[in-house]
Amino acid sequence: MNTIEKAAGPSGAPGPDSEEFEEGGIGVRRASMTFGPDEPLALDSGVNLSPFTIAYETYGALNADRSNVVLICHALTGDQYAASSHPLTCKPGWWPHMVGPGRPIDTNRFFVVCQNVIGGCQGTTGPKDIDPATGRPYGLSFPVITIGDMVRAQAMLLDRLGIRDLFCVIGGSMGGMQVLQWAAAYPERVFSAIPIATAARHSAQNIAFHEVGRQAIMADPEWKQGAYLSQGTTPGKGLAVARMAAHITYLSEAALHRKFGRNLQDRESITYGFDADFQIESYLRHQGSTFVDRFDANSYLYITRAMDYFDLRATGSFRRRTIARSCMR
Amino acid sequence: MNTIEKAAGPSGAPGPDSEEFEEGGIGVRRASMTFGPDEPLALDSGVNLSPFTIAYETYGALNADRSNVVLICHALTGDQYAASSHPLTCKPGWWPHMVGPGRPIDTNRFFVVCQNVIGGCQGTTGPKDIDPATGRPYGLSFPVITIGDMVRAQAMLLDRLGIRDLFCVIGGSMGGMQVLQWAAAYPERVFSAIPIATAARHSAQNIAFHEVGRQAIMADPEWKQGAYLSQGTTPGKGLAVARMAAHITYLSEAALHRKFGRNLQDRESITYGFDADFQIESYLRHQGSTFVDRFDANSYLYITRAMDYFDLRATGSFRRRTIARSCMR
């Protein structure tokens, strides 16, 4: 670990919550890194975000030639806790079957890094953090971010950690978008890329689902035009509805049928009322209500927006390389 | 028309808003019929709904042997104005290409009946109407209704109009469920049945979309536990989100792609904000905001519930006939 800490620049000291511990046979380092005014994050929108912090975890050890790095990119509502217990929910990491000793992403072989995305709410700078210009939470004054911005911030952290090359970058859904973006924007740094269950751009239907979620949040009067943290409210009902709408898409229609069908929830027959008679209703309500305890509504707006905006065709190096290849034919 | 009015029973006089006019070459009769305490609607829940009113339209003329009746059943947010201008929105009827002189449902040949469903909000008794027991709008004290109840009420109106046999019963989506229910519950009255774009029961995914819509309405603090009419509020934001979620399902993913793709709305490039940059966002917002002007939020709850509950297997005569046929083999 010395290599890493030595590589940290003047504003790159581990945050006060940096800690190392072992969990499930994995050496976990839970840390955050702040980038000061001298190192702003140049966003695609043209805005420079500064200062900003990235919260991240590492598992395992970096080898001597720094060639064993696997970067895990998380999905929309994911976080850096891929293989360690979530500090808020106390639930196990979100990718336990994939990350660990002897598992596909073998923490005995690889040095695994997982970062909370920019705009997120698990320690990396996002709309719930204090805007130094006002002393109040950013809310909607936080700049709109993109998948490109998320990846650019990840690269800055890796630079700071002294890591140039990625043996592999891997992730699903929005994590897969980041993987594609990594391969397009930093092809010389990526040896292998594993984008899972993802897309090079959102379809109209993808955007539609996200827009319903955003409108559900914004329709909640507790949202307060995004200033709910300053005003002491929580748009939990709107966020829960957004989560419910999104959850419809997380299982295929066939899987929903297999898992729930028209099964009733703890009852023999319909009740002629508006309780959750069907298991699918109970499931969605549960997903909605538990989500609001661990996620920030404005982060949900910003991150869904980044996904909708993402279009791999627009990424510079991808475009150049594609054109170059076309010309060679 | 004399035949019809003569057939009306003591409580079956045309309502005060009964009128006849011609529109688009169609003789339209716009009317309502009230069923008094002597004729309750026996609901599947076991509740007797009484009194109740059915608002309906007829087009064309009943022939001498009453054999030319076509019953049109409307969808979730449809109404009885299949071929005449909607009195609230002033828009043309919702099925202009299908209903009219020389059209598939030829008003020169057929006597066409279209009724607003029970639980609806266009004149037929529903949750926005006054509960005679309290003198206040029903709200959530309105009994939960089913597709079977809708059809039973339709049959009562037809009985009152002196109509036994249907040359055809036709409708799409929830209208198609009613068509199936007609064929199953009253096989001796139905000569032909045309269920369009419908299902014998909702899948888990169908229920999920409706549940998101219901939760969006109930999450709106203006909903007031269903008592918004008494309290002078309108859960318009929640209802708009419900409508947006439902609209995702009204076009296939392929059709959404063809119609909208990732096209931007009146702009050259993304704005890095939360305005409706994409056409699909603008479309959904428009669908949501216009819907609340013409629809009642509680009706939306009740009618979606009826659709979710619908299961053709549970309909008595269908079940009996299916069993009988099985035994004959």
Q: How many interface pairs between A and B have CB atoms less than 8 angstroms apart?
A: 149
Q: How far is CA B303 from CA A2, A33, B34, B223, in A?
A: 65, 53, 21, 17
Which of A206, A209, A160 shows the shortest CA–CA distance to A12? A160
Tell me if B203 and A244 make a contact (CB, 8 A cut-off): no
The average pLDDT across A271-298 equals 96
The token pair that represents A5 in the structure block: 């800490």
Are β-strands B130-131 and B136-137 bridged in parallel, bridged antiparallel, or unpaired?
Answer: antiparallel
Interface of B with A in 297-316 (CB under 8 A): 301, 305, 308-309, 311
Cα–Cα distance, A176 to A72 (Å, whole number)? 10
| Residue type at position A317 | S
Q: Which residues of B touch A262 (CB under 8 A)?
A: 201-204, 207, 311
Are β-strands B52-59 and B69-73 bridged in parallel, bridged antiparallel, or unpaired?
Answer: unpaired
Cα–Cα distance, A292 to A296 (Å, whole number)? 7
Per-residue pLDDT of chain B (329 residues; tens, 9 = 90+): 333 333 333 344 555 568 999 999 999 999 999 999 999 999 999 999 999 999 999 999 999 999 999 999 999 999 999 999 999 899 999 999 999 999 999 999 999 999 999 999 999 999 999 999 999 999 999 999 999 999 999 999 999 999 999 999 999 999 999 999 999 999 999 999 999 999 999 999 999 999 999 999 999 999 999 999 999 999 999 999 999 999 999 999 999 999 999 999 999 999 999 999 999 999 999 999 999 999 999 999 999 999 999 999 987 555 555 444 444 43
Q: Which residues of A touch B240 (CB under 8 A)?
A: 215, 219
A201 and A310 Cβ atoms separated by less than 8 Å: yes
Q: Does B102 touch chain A (CB under 8 A)?
A: no
Cα–Cα distance, B284 to B282 (Å, whole number)? 6
Task: For A97-140, write each residue's pLDDT tens digit.
Answer: 999 999 999 999 999 999 999 999 999 999 999 999 999 999 99
Tell me if A262 and B201 make a contact (CB, 8 A cut-off): yes
Q: Which residues of B touch A219 (CB under 8 A)?
A: 216, 220, 237-238, 240-241
Tell me if B211 and A280 make a contact (CB, 8 A cut-off): yes
DSSP code string of A301-329: HHHHHHHHH-BGGG-HHHHHHHHHHHHH-
Q: Does a cis peptide bond (omega within 30 degrees of 0) precede residue A104? A: no
- In whole numbers, what is the pLDDT of chain A averaged over residues? 92
Interface of B with A in 200-219 (CB under 8 A): 201-205, 207-209, 211-212, 214-216, 218-219
Q: How far is CA A59 from CA A27, A83, A252, in A?
A: 6, 8, 32
The token pair that represents A233 in the structure block: 């409210």
Tell me if A216 and B248 make a contact (CB, 8 A cut-off): no
Q: Does a cis peptide bond (omega within 30 degrees of 0) precede residue B51? A: yes
Identity of the residue in B202, B212, B273 whose CB atom sits nearest the CB atom of A144: B273
Residue A316, pLDDT score: 55
Q: Which residues of B touch A292 (CB under 8 A)?
A: none
Among A244, A302, A303, A310, pick the best mutation site for testing chain B contact (most B Cβ within 10 A). Answer: A244
CATH class of B2-200: alpha beta
Tell me if B278 and A207 make a contact (CB, 8 A cut-off): yes
SS percent in chain B: helix, strand, coil, step 5: 40, 20, 45
Residue A244: partners with Cβ closer than 8 Å, 6 or more residues away: A284, A285, A287, A288, B208, B211, B212, B215
Residue B18, pLDDT score: 87
Identity of the residue in A203, A237, A238 whose CB atom sits nearest the CB atom of B253: A203
Q: Does B167 touch chain A (CB under 8 A)?
A: no
Tell me if B207 and A278 make a contact (CB, 8 A cut-off): yes
- Provide the H-helix boundaries in chain B: 2-7, 147-160, 174-185, 204-219, 228-231, 236-250, 253-259, 279-291, 297-309, 316-328
E runs forming strands in chain A: 19-23, 26-35, 41-42, 48-49, 52-59, 69-73, 99-100, 105-106, 111-115, 130-131, 136-137, 168-172, 193-196
Q: Does A224 touch chain B (CB under 8 A)?
A: no
Q: How far is CA A174 from CA A99, A202, B136, in A?
A: 18, 10, 50
| Residue type at position B76 | L
Tell me if B284 and A208 make a contact (CB, 8 A cut-off): yes
Q: Which residues of A touch B248 (CB under 8 A)?
A: 205, 208-209, 212
Interface of B with A in 5-64 (CB under 8 A): 44-45
Which residue is associated with the tokens 């905001």?
Answer: B289
Residue A164: alpha-carbon gap to chain centroid: 21
Identity of the residue in B204, B209, B305 whose CB atom sits nearest the CB atom of A274: B305
Q: How far is CA A116 from CA A121, B243, B253, in A?
A: 8, 34, 31
Task: For A131-166, write each residue's pLDDT tens digit.
Answer: 999 999 999 999 999 999 999 999 999 999 999 999
The token pair that represents A23 in the structure block: 């969990």
The average pLDDT across A262-267 equals 94
In sequence order, the β-bridge partners of residue B106 are B100
Domain boundaries, chain A: 2-200, 204-309
pLDDT at A216 over 70: yes
pLDDT at A324 over 60: no
Cα–Cα distance, A150 to A159 (Å, whole number)? 14
Which of B7, B59, B64 shows the shortest CA–CA distance to B33? B7
Tell me if B216 and A220 make a contact (CB, 8 A cut-off): no
Q: How far is CA B142 from CA A290, B76, B226, in A?
A: 31, 18, 10
Identity of the residue in B204, B281, B288 whose CB atom sits nearest the CB atom of A260: B204
A118 and A149 Cβ atoms separated by less than 8 Å: yes
Tell me if B211 and A244 make a contact (CB, 8 A cut-off): yes
DSSP code string of B227-283: THHHHT---HHHHHHHHHHHHHHHS-HHHHHHHTTT-BSSSSS--SSSS--BHHHHH
Q: Which residues of A touch B311 (CB under 8 A)?
A: 262
Burial of B109 from C-beta contacts in 10 A (0-12 / 13-18 / 19+): middle
A87 and A76 Cβ atoms separated by less than 8 Å: no
Cα–Cα distance, A194 to A105 (Å, whole number)? 12
Among B280, B292, B312, pick the best mutation site for testing chain A contact (most A Cβ within 10 A). Answer: B280
Burial of B159 from C-beta contacts in 10 A (0-12 / 13-18 / 19+): middle
The matching CATH number, chosen from 1.10.1200.10, 3.40.190.10, 1.10.1740.110, 1.10.3720.10, for A204-309 is 1.10.1740.110
Q: How far is CA B190 from CA A153, A170, B57, B113, B168, in A?
A: 67, 59, 20, 14, 7
First to last CA, chain B: 47
Tell me if B274 and A219 make a contact (CB, 8 A cut-off): no
Pairwise pLDDT comparison (A315 vs A188), residue with the higher score? A188
Count of beta carbons in the 10 Å neighbourhood of residue B196:
14
Compare all CA atoms of chain A with the CA of B284 and give the residue at the minimum distance.
Answer: A208
Q: How many residues does chain A have?
A: 329
pLDDT at A168 over 70: yes
The token pair that represents B231 in the structure block: 């309290």
Q: Does A244 touch chain B (CB under 8 A)?
A: yes
Task: For A292-307, write each residue's pLDDT tens digit.
Answer: 999 999 999 999 999 9
3-state SS class at A37: coil
Among B209, B239, B281, pick the best mutation site for testing chain A contact (most A Cβ within 10 A). Answer: B281
Long-range contacts from B2-10, C-beta under 8 angstroms, 24+ separation: B3/B62, B3/B66, B3/B162, B4/B58, B4/B62, B4/B161, B4/B162, B6/B162, B7/B160, B7/B161, B7/B162, B8/B33, B8/B160, B8/B161, B9/B39, B9/B160, B10/B36, B10/B38
The token pair that represents B223 in the structure block: 């909903």
Q: How far is CA B24 from CA A143, A300, B70, B121, in A?
A: 54, 50, 19, 25
- Strands of the sheet containing B111-115, edge to edge, are B19-23, B26-35, B52-59, B111-115, B69-73, B168-172, B193-196
Identity of the residue in A208, A237, A273 whose CB atom sits nearest the CB atom of B219: A237
Compare all CA atoms of chain B with the CA of A211 and give the residue at the minimum distance.
Answer: B281
Residue B314, pLDDT score: 80
Residue B2, pLDDT score: 32
